[in-house]
Structure 1
Amino acid sequence: MAELRISVDRLQIGNYIKLPLSWRDHPFLLSSFLLKKEEQIQLIRQLGLKFVFIIPEKSEAPPKPAEILELPQSDIDLNDEISSLQEKMQSEKAERIEKLKEYRRSLQRTEQSFNRSLAQMRALINKLQTRPLNAIREAHELVDDITKQMMQADQMVLHLMSDSPEGESLYYHSLNVAMLSMLLAKQCGKSEEEIKLLGMAAIFHDIGKIKIPSQILRKTEPLTKPEENLYKLHPRYSLALLDLAQEFPTQAKGMILKHHERLDGSGYPEGLKASQLDDLTQLMSVIDEYDSLCHPQMGGKAAATPHTVLSFMFKHKTKQLNKDYIGLLIKHLGIYPPGSVVELSNGQVGLVMSVNSQRLLYPAVQVYDPAVPRNEAAIIDLENMNLSIKRVLLPSRLPQEIFDYLSPRTRISYFFDSSNGANGS
């Protein structure tokens, strides 16, 4: 995108500019923005700048012609109104920087909770074959802890977590399905007992995959028919493993066996239809399908963005999956779920980091700004900034410098924070 260097005397409302200053050396929240008020131009002059950069493609008006002269800076009336505005902007920026620090602390807390839960998930899945009673007890403890936090929370912020290491897809997928299933169950008024059942079923719903040969699970080409038939046995393999522990809830076993069944009878392993599938199974099936479409593990299928997956499910999966739960998932994650790379209404590119269950239209977005160090990147609240999302972008098509700055996740995992005020600056 072309940038033109112009004298500050040529600035006018409608110019989209980039300041040649460090982010901390000016009172504006961002270093690149659209000029909307004459006072902004006066403030730029007060900064002592002789020139700025203008981006014509993002501007709503051209700069003033070069032959039109402005008063020299020394003659500009630095009135009390402008000085007051500068003080206000500096105060607001300082406040937003502090909010950003609190947001990052919230994100760090959530990441720590996620990693603890993931470690528990990894341990109990690995114990299932050798110490099944211990594995089931630890699973109950994990689910009880998550349920308790969810039930006590008035509002929840869903955060984007880090990528998964190679070979740990089963743990990340299982935790993601458990987390989102339990969140959705709470949203639609399910009882605490039902939420716990969902959590137990989701944690172990794909455990049978450890009985599937790794060359099938890691295969990048489409599966052969015999390979596909073997893969479709994994729900039965899951039940066989869980039968080692009699304490595992019977209803959760049924949900595990049926999570790949579909309302129209097109699923497996038994080809059941809607009337044969209980409500909780239908809910978990929606979440499992969502996460699987975002992160296909085999068969040569490409990963899709969360936004694209939600749109695809709503348009093409409502005969196979519960339409109401698809709608609820969209409502809970927002139109632009965490992990979405987006272009904002001001032309900036960002990564959706969090959504608040009570403010879904205004996610927290980390924005690309080369003038700001990556570890200090602004995470903005779209409502406070009077911005909106223009469109979703494919991470693979980002310029390398933007991709490296935003670091889009290849594995999109979510975890919740129930503390207040955790939705960005």
Structure 2
Amino acid sequence: MASIKLSVERLTEGLYVKLPLQWTDHPFLLNHFKIKDQQQIRLIKNLGVQYVYLLPEKSDTTPLEPNAPVESMSEQESQFLDKQAEKLWQEKQSRIERLKNYKRKIHRCEKNFDRSMSQLRAIVSKIQSRPLTAIQEAEFLVEGMVDALMESDNVALHLMNDNKECEDIYFHSLNVATMSMMLAKSSGMPADEIKTIALGALFHDMGKLKVPTAIVRKTTPLTAPEENYLKLHTKYSLDLANLAKNFPQGAKNILAQHHELLDGSGYPQQLKGNEIDLTAQLIGVVNAYDNLCHPQDPSTTRIPNNALSYLFKNKKAQYNSDYLALLVRLMGVYPPGSVVQLSNQQLGLVISVNSDRLLYPNVLIYDPSVPSNEAPILDLEESNLKIERAIAPNKLPENVYVYLNPRVRISYYFDPDD
């Protein structure tokens, strides 16, 4: 969108302007906005800039004529505006500090994610040669994750960086475990039951290690024999679990039944309705969501918002509707990883969501005037902005795509919001 260099002396209410400053060098929430009152004009002039950039297409009016007479202001009005400016600066500084704290929290969360991923990688490397050791280490991993989850009443789900070189099974298993644990907690399950669910989630696909890689990673439709071979992974996962006498029966039910569907169209036993263990129903919902976001055929990949919507609208006959509704509550209407357009037409990437504020996630904002590593993260509840729609990453202009860095592989982890 074309912009015009405009003297600050020609500013008036209703103009949409962009400031020629870094985000941290002014008190406004964003670098570009529509001027709503004389106070904002006074603030802009007090920044010491001689001009701003005008975006005519977004403006409601035209600039003042050059050398137009400026309305005089009383001393009292001037002092009031100065006080309001100082108040805005203080609010901005507070917001910057909260942003720094938030980024520190994300960093801490990513460290926990990396540690869990390393532990899971070690577990998988031992699963066939030393299954007892692998299961003991998995129980230790689960114990730490559940303890962290239960520490706080207010837990946020975060989008993780995906620059780690791992097999898909690590990401998928940890994703399903993370979301299943949070889903179980939000449904009121006690810690011991959540640990059983997490253990089942971590091992639910381990049987795929016994299926030929050419089948597991095939991106074109499977033949009937190949599909039957892949379906054996539920049996193979159960075989691995049975090598350990103390592997919880509840977790075994998850391994055996996470592909069963309420209408009887699932596998391996075509169980129906209440015949399917409730914890397996929970894992089944999360597993379906993650598989829609990360299918073997990249051309069928669904964005998070669309994957949730698809399950909720089209799969209620197959999946537990209570758990589907809880998953929407957990992930938010726009889950982490969603590229969104805001009500001011700016683009952003949802990076975390709090289940208590579904419509107000934290969004990393695209602003080319700010370096991408310093991009502001907005709490939409504070910003008075809202999300208008989700956008498929492949529809973004290249410069926006590079800036926002939407994840090809969406990985989630949680951190207590303390």
Q: TM range, normalised to the smaller chain?
A: over 0.9
Q: For each residue in 1:107-163, what CA deviation from the matched residue of structure 2 results, as whole angstroms up to 9, or x when unmatched?
A: 000000111111111111211111111111111111111112222212111111011
Distance apart, 1:205 and its partner CA: 0.1
Which residue of 1 is the match for residue 300 of structure 2? 302
Q: For residues 44 and 152 of structure 1, what CA distance do their matches in structure 2 show?
A: 45
Q: For residues 285 and 305 of structure 2, what CA distance do their matches in structure 1 show?
A: 15
Give secondary structure in 1 for the equivalent of 2:381. coil
Amino acid at match of 2:268: P
Which residue of 2 is the match for residue 339 of structure 1? 337
Give secondary structure in 2 for the equivalent of 1:384. helix
Q: For residues 284 and 234 of structure 1, what CA distance do their matches in structure 2 show?
A: 16
Which residue of 2 is the match for residue 227 of structure 1? 226
Give secondary structure in 2 for the equivalent of 1:190. coil
Which residue of 1 is the match for residue 117 of structure 2? 118
Identical counterparts, % of pairs:
50
Q: Is the 8 A contact 1:34 1:346 kept in 2?
A: no
The yes-or-no answer on 1:383 pairing with 2:381 is yes
Which residue of 2 is the match for residue 368 of structure 1? 366
Give secondary structure in 1 for the equivalent of 2:53. strand
Q: Is the 8 A contact 2:259 2:267 kept in 1?
A: yes
Distance apart, 1:8 and its partner CA: 2.4
Distance apart, 1:64 and its partner CA: 2.9
Q: For residues 23 and 392 of structure 1, what CA distance do their matches in structure 2 show?
A: 25
Which residue of 2 is the match for residue 149 of structure 1? 148
Q: For residues 309 and 282 of structure 2, what CA distance do their matches in structure 1 show?
A: 18
Distance apart, 1:166 and its partner CA: 5.0
Amino acid at match of 2:41: I
Structural mapping, 1:30-69, within 5 Å: 30-59=30-59, 61-64=60-63, 66=65, 69=68
Which residue of 1 is the match for residue 19 of structure 2? 19
Give the one of 318, 321, 326 matched to 2:319. Answer: 321
5+ long unaligned stretches in structure 1: 421-425
Give secondary structure in 1 for the equivalent of 2:363. strand
Which residue of 2 is the match for residue 401 of structure 1? 399
Distance apart, 1:12 and its partner CA: 2.3
Amino acid at match of 2:239: A
Q: For residues 163 and 199 of structure 2, what CA distance do their matches in structure 1 show?
A: 22
Give secondary structure in 2 for the equivalent of 1:178. helix
Q: CA RMSD in A?
A: 1.8
Distance apart, 1:287 and its partner CA: 0.4
Identify if the C-alpha distance between structure 1 residues 70 and 31 changes in structure 2 by more than 3 Å, giving closer, same or farther.
farther
Q: TM-score, normalised by structure 1?
A: 0.93
Q: Is the 8 A contact 2:253 2:277 kept in 1?
A: no
Amino acid at match of 1:172: F
Q: For residues 236 and 58 of structure 1, what CA distance do their matches in structure 2 show?
A: 60
Q: Is the 8 A contact 2:261 2:318 kept in 1?
A: yes
The yes-or-no answer on 1:195 pairing with 2:194 is yes
Q: Is the 8 A contact 1:9 1:70 kept in 2?
A: no
Q: Is the 8 A contact 1:159 1:354 kept in 2?
A: yes
Distance apart, 1:405 and its partner CA: 1.1
Q: For residues 323 and 25 of structure 1, what CA distance do their matches in structure 2 show?
A: 49
Identify if the C-alpha distance between structure 1 residues 351 and 105 changes in structure 2 by more than 3 Å, giving closer, same or farther.
same
Q: Is the 8 A contact 2:5 2:52 kept in 1?
A: yes
Which residue of 1 is the match for residue 261 of structure 2? 262
Amino acid at match of 1:292: N
More off after superposition, 103-112 vs 223-232: 223-232
Q: Is the 8 A contact 1:122 1:171 kept in 2?
A: yes
Q: For residues 396 and 301 of structure 1, what CA distance do their matches in structure 2 show?
A: 11
Amino acid at match of 2:252: K
Q: For each residue in 1:330-370, what CA deviation from the matched residue of structure 2 results, as whole angstroms up to 9, or x when unmatched?
A: 01111011111111111111111111232222111110111
Distance apart, 1:167 and its partner CA: 4.9
Q: TM-score, normalised by structure 2?
A: 0.95
Would you say how many aligned residue pairs link Structure 1 and Structure 2? 416
Distance apart, 1:4 and its partner CA: 2.5
Which residue of 1 is the match for residue 99 of structure 2? 100
Q: Is the 8 A contact 2:149 2:415 kept in 1?
A: no
Give secondary structure in 1 for the equivalent of 2:414. strand
Distance apart, 1:70 and its partner CA: 4.0
Q: Is the 8 A contact 1:181 1:199 kept in 2?
A: yes
Q: For residues 353 and 319 of structure 1, what CA distance do their matches in structure 2 show?
A: 31
Q: For residues 165 and 110 of structure 1, what CA distance do their matches in structure 2 show?
A: 15
Distance apart, 1:11 and its partner CA: 2.4
Distance apart, 1:188 and its partner CA: 0.8
Q: Is the 8 A contact 1:164 1:411 kept in 2?
A: no
More off after superposition, 118-127 vs 23-32: 23-32
Q: For residues 162 and 150 of structure 2, what CA distance do their matches in structure 1 show?
A: 28
Amino acid at match of 2:386: S
Amino acid at match of 1:184: L
Q: For residues 164 and 280 of structure 1, what CA distance do their matches in structure 2 show?
A: 32
Which residue of 2 is the match for residue 423 of structure 1? none
Distance apart, 1:197 and its partner CA: 1.1
